[in-house]
Each structure stands twice: as C-alpha cells, then as structure tokens.
Chain A
C-alpha cells in the first residue's frame, strides 16, 4: 500500500462519517461470516463427533475421524490423483500459454479477433466443457478416434473414458484445452505491458530472441505469471466438474480427486463426521498455499 493511499485515506477520514463506513460494509461482511465462518466452525465441531448414516453420535469422540484419515488409502490416492493433475496440467497450460502469447505478441492484422475466439473455451461452464469432450471422445461416434484412424491408417476404437491408460490423457486434454487460453490471455496482456524500448534495444545489440525472452521478458512478467499460476493451481486442486462429466472418478477410483472423493463420502455414503475431518485436512493443506498466494497478490497491487 503506497503512501498516497494512506494520505488520501486520512484526508477522507477528516470528514468521514463513521457510521457510514461501517453501515456499508456490514451486510457483505455478515453474509461472508455466515457463509465463510459458519462452515469452518461447524465442520470442526462435527469432525470431533461421530455422525454417519447409521448413527448420530454427537458426543465428543476425540481424534477418531482424524486417525481414520491416515489409514484411508482411498483418500491418499485421491490426493495423489489431485496432485498429479496439478503437477502435469499446470506446466502444460503455462508453457502452451506462453508460446501462444509469444505468437500473438507482435502486432498482426486481425489479432483481436483471434484472441476473442481463443478465449471462448475458458468462459464456458466446466461441466459443459466436460460434456463436450465426452461426446468428442466417444469410441464409435466421436471424431477423435476417427481422426486418429486417419493418422494411423487403421480404424481406432479407443475407450478414452473407460480404459485406465487413456483416462488421464483424456482429462488432461479437456483441462488443457479449457484453461490454456486463460494463461494465454493473462500472459499476453502482461507481455504487452513490457516496455518495448528494452526489447528493441536488446535486439539492436544483437541479442537472440531466446535470450531476450529469458533475460527481459520473463523477469518483467514474473509476478503476473506467479499469480496466474496460483489462481490456476488452486482451481486445479479443486477440480471436479470436468472429471465428473468424463469419468465420475472411474474406472473404479482411478481418477477420483479429493473433491470427488469428499463428495462421495459426504453425499453418497453420508459419512458426515469423516467428510468433515477430510474437509479440514484440505483446508489445512490449502491454507499454506493461499497465504502464499495472497502475499504475492498484495505484492503486485
């Protein structure tokens, strides 16, 4: 926060009507407290009880649920799947986004139209994106196997959303398709804000394009890139819709992510207390990441 903001703040404060500033903030904060704090407190409370479909035991049962977490292989597997998706999809989206941004960085006639069209996948509902890819991946009537058949020269009937070795590629393709434009758009804007006199001077001095990118461009867009990565990283961690549309976590539990597993435990198995404990584990894991994210955001503002 700059001194300018503090300065103007205190200037406004001189004639600030105290009631006004709390009056306008109160409704929003009340709603956020109800929807933000209540779930946390209630989750914490329930996680120390023993409530499930069979019984409603609200007596304090200590760390029973949390102990169960550690022996639940399915939970750690789902966490592993989630981290795998983050670890693979995020770098691909970043690198593809960077390359696309570089392609469109210099002026070219019609650039705006290309950008406007390329951003469309990012704006549609993830569940719709998943549904679309479900139709595209269909083994008999989908166009993907057809195109693969042309390339390989023999008919293909790959069961993309059913065969264990193909489900992850299918998820990655859908996810990367939808969110690479997000990276692209942000990185393109960040790169466009870089002072061109710097890159031009380097070019005249005979620096290679690669060198210019790594020595001038990348440091200049670093902070924006970090934020884009954090937004996307957190989004990927909570991935639900696309997988729900494509595989519902299957085959078996092969593509079950933490969000899908928690949904199944909470809304299919009605393991209320156990789901609450799981939710707290997720919050614990994410708090660290979120704190880090916000530090970066504040840094840029």
Chain B
C-alpha cells in the first residue's frame, strides 16, 4: 500500500513539474517573441495606432498600406538588392568554398595551418578590414557596385563555408570516392557525382546560413554602398532620426527583411545547432 501511495505521490510531483515547465516555457516564449510581434504589428498599424498613447496592443484591422508605400516609393528595391547580392555571393562562396574544403578535408592541403588561417579570417572584426578595403574599393571604383559588394560578401563568407564544408565532407566515408576512382572516374566526376550528392544536406544548411549572414549584414553595406546598391538593413537606418513618422517604414522594411529569415529557419531546424556553433556541436 505504501509503495502504491509513494508512486502516486511521485507521479503527482511529475505532473506538477511538467505543468511548471510548460508555464515557464510559455512565459519565456511570450517574452522573447513580443518584440518580434510588436515589429510586425507596427508594420500593419495605421499612423493613428502607431502614435497612440497608451499604445494600441494590436492593429484594429489588417491593412498593408505601410508596405504599399515602400513599393510605390521604390524603397522596396533595396530588398531586391539584398536578395541579388546575398544570393549571388552565396552561390559563389558555396562553389569556391566547397572545392577548397574538399581539398582541405581529403588531401590535407596546407596542413592544419592553412585551415586555421582560413577560419581566423572569420574572427577579425569587420571594422578592421572594412576601412582599408574601402580605400581599395575607392581606388578600383568599386564602391556602390553590385560586384564590389558581392565579392566582399563572398570573401567574408568563404571561411565559414570552408570550415563547415570541411566538417561535412569529413563525415562522408572516403571509400565511396575511392571506388569511384577505381571505376575510372576523374577527380572532377568524383566531386560532382559522389561528393556533392553525399554532402547535399550539409551544402544546403551551409548555403542557407551563408545567405542569412550576407542578408543580415549592416556594416559592410553601410560603408560600401551609397545609393545604387543600398541593401535593406541600410535602408532601415535611413528612416532613423528626424521625425518619428518614419516608424511605419522602419517596421515594414524590417519585416520585409526578417520574414525571409524566418522561412529559412523553418527549413533549417535540424542543422541550426551545427550551423550557428560553427560545427562545434554536431547536434
């Protein structure tokens, strides 16, 4: 009898614990998501609702005027700029980086020193490199050009791609490549027919992260763009200061920038940990 009672007590305690954990989880989620909710809600509010005191906690009706203005005035082209620049630089960095990673992973080219030098490039603060690069870009006439920014993001993301893809390629059993070679494949065929397909989840996850890094960057774009190839993060800051009637634009532009990232996160779930920890946790 006492054993049954003890078990009952234990299961009651478990139930309480679970209830507490749910409560804490919901509270945390509310706290962490509220700022994002607020951003989205402002983007849907009318000016009267945005500048209500006390604040309106939700928009009375869903209307997209704040977004329409961005598209009408042409401000939304900065999102296309971001998309084009981040997309192209991601493709470039993925292609060049994966080739390099393959060489590092399979041939130990340059030994560990080269690999360490490459990842150390990632650790240098952008502000340190952006200044001399700006002077170089002025000299080359690359300031405010698409190719200038694309190349910059490619270089900036290469260490990450190489580092991550080296890890993913090392996870592939080498025997497959060896047998493909024995069967008469050239090295390039091995790459295209064996390595790329085998590493496709790693390729995909790394590409999405690379894209997000370029998409989210502010400081390089701030320095290297003027008016032609402004990216959306720079455009957001153009609405700062001065009058607060730009709030709707700040929010709407931010939402345009954040929404694609949220879609990316939804696709990434399984690879998030490995991606953000730079491979430290295989998760």
Contacts and interface: CB of A to CB of B under 8 A. Distances in A.
Given A22-B109, A43-B128, A141 B218 contact: no
Contacts, number: 292
Interface in A1-41: 1, 5-6, 8-9, 11-13, 15-17, 20-22, 24-25, 27-29, 31-32, 34-36, 38-40
Nearest to A16: B107
A24 B258 contact: no
Interface in B68-111: 96-97, 99-100, 102-104, 106-110
A127 interface: yes
Given A28-B158, A240-B127, A294 B96 contact: no
Give the one of A40, A128, A129, A241 with max B CB within 10 A: A128
* B interface residue count range (under 10 / 10 to 19 / 20 to 34 / 35 or more): 35 or more
Contacts of A286: 123-125
Give the one of B112, B174, B181, B215 with max A CB within 10 A: B174
A128 B96 contact: no
Contacts of B151: 31, 35
A234 B181 CA distance: 43
Interface stretch (B4-12, B59-67, B129-137): B129-137
A66 interface: no
Contacts of A21: 103, 106-107, 109
B269 interface: yes
A112 B110 CA distance: 41
Nearest to A44: B132
A258 B29 CA distance: 33
Contacts of A9: 106-108
Contact of A42 (B32, B38, B53, B132): B132
Contacts of B261: 123-125
Contact of B25 (A6, A108, A193): A108
Interface in A125-180: 125-129, 131-136, 138, 140-143, 146, 177
Nearest to A31: B155
B204 interface: no
B123 A293 contact: yes
A186 B50 contact: no
Contacts of A132: 35-36, 38-39, 254
Contact of B266 (A22, A116, A177, A294): A116
B16 to A, nearest CB: 13
A136 B32 contact: no
Interface stretch (A83-91, A211-219, A259-267): A259-267
A164 B265 CA distance: 37
Contact of B264 (A29, A123, A223, A283): A123
B199 interface: no
B123 A38 contact: no
A207 interface: no
Interface stretch (A57-65, A68-76, A198-206, A272-280): A272-280
A127 B38 CA distance: 16
Contacts of A244: 218, 237
A228 B277 contact: yes
B178 A11 contact: yes
A108 B14 CA distance: 12
B3 interface: no
B119 A126 contact: no
B44 interface: no
B118 interface: yes
A87 B163 CA distance: 28
Contacts of A301: 167, 279
Given A20-B187, A22-B109, A297 B280 contact: yes
Contact of B258 (A34, A106, A128): A128
Interface string B157-169: 0110010000100
Contacts of B194: none
- Closest 8 A-B residue pairs measured CB to CB? A35-B155, A238-B125, A125-B216, A28-B100, A24-B99, A39-B132, A189-B283, A189-B273
14 contacts: A39-B131, A106-B21, A120-B262, A121-B36, A125-B215, A131-B236, A135-B42, A142-B55, A192-B283, A227-B277, A244-B237, A276-B132, A279-B131, A294-B119
Given A35-B133, A38-B133, A125-B261, 5 more contacts: A5-B170, A21-B103, A100-B28, A116-B265, A279-B132
